[in-house]
Structure 1
Amino acid sequence: MAAYLIADVNVTDHNAFEEYRREVPATEARYGGRYLGRGGATKVLEGDWEPHRLVIVEFPDMTSLMAWYDSPEYARLRAIRERCATTRIIALEGVALPG
């Protein structure tokens, strides 16, 4: 069953973040990750949420998502992101659709 990484990223150092943005897709792809949304325009429909840079990545399953997140190749990039952005990230397990 698919799993989704959903992140709200507030970039505080755009120059430093560029390396992360450029290199992270290849690490996600190795674990079956693919972007469903990445930094596009947002429109709040309800509530007081003020999203920054939203990212949604689909993985084949939660095991693949967590294997990527805990991987050595992502650890270096995660450290870069943590220095140049504040981020809220969740992992969401999908649902099996009938049919």
Structure 2
Amino acid sequence: MAAYLIADVDITDMAMFDEYRREVPATEARYGGHYLARGGATRVLEGDWEPHRLVIIEFPDMAALTSWYGSPEYERLKQIRFRCAHTRIMAIEGTA
């Protein structure tokens, strides 16, 4: 069953974030991940949520998603992201 990573990213250093953004897709692809949404326009329909840059990545399953998130190749990029953005990230399983 597919699993989805949903991230709300508040970028604080765009130059550093550009490095992260250039390198991260190759790491996701190794685990079967691909973007469904990546920083496009948003519109809040209900509630008081004020999203920043939203990203949705689909993986084949939760095991692939969590393997990517904990992988050595992503760990280096994660450290870059920690320095240039405030991020809220969640993972959710899709429906069967």
Q: What is the TM-score when the length of structure 2 is the normalising length?
A: 0.99
Return the letter of the residue paired with 2:77: L
**Aligned residues with identical type, % of pairs:** 76
Which aligned runs of 4 or more in structure 1 are off by greater than 3 angstroms?
none
RMSD in angstroms over aligned alpha carbons? 0.3
Distance 2:4 2:32 in 1: 11
Q: What CA deviation, in whole Å up to 9, does each residue of 1:1-44 have, x standing for no partner?
A: 00000000000000110000000000000000000000000000
- Structure 1 gap segments, 5+ residues each: none
Partner of 2:31: 31
Q: Residue 64 of structure 1: CA displacement?
A: 0.1
Alignment of 1:1-99 (within 5 A): 1-96=1-96
Q: What CA deviation, in whole Å up to 9, does each residue of 1:38-89 have, x standing for no partner?
A: 0000000000000000000000000000000000000000000000000000
- Structure 2 gap segments, 5+ residues each: none
Return the letter of the residue paired with 1:47: G
Equivalent pairs counted in the alignment come to 96
Larger Rg: 1
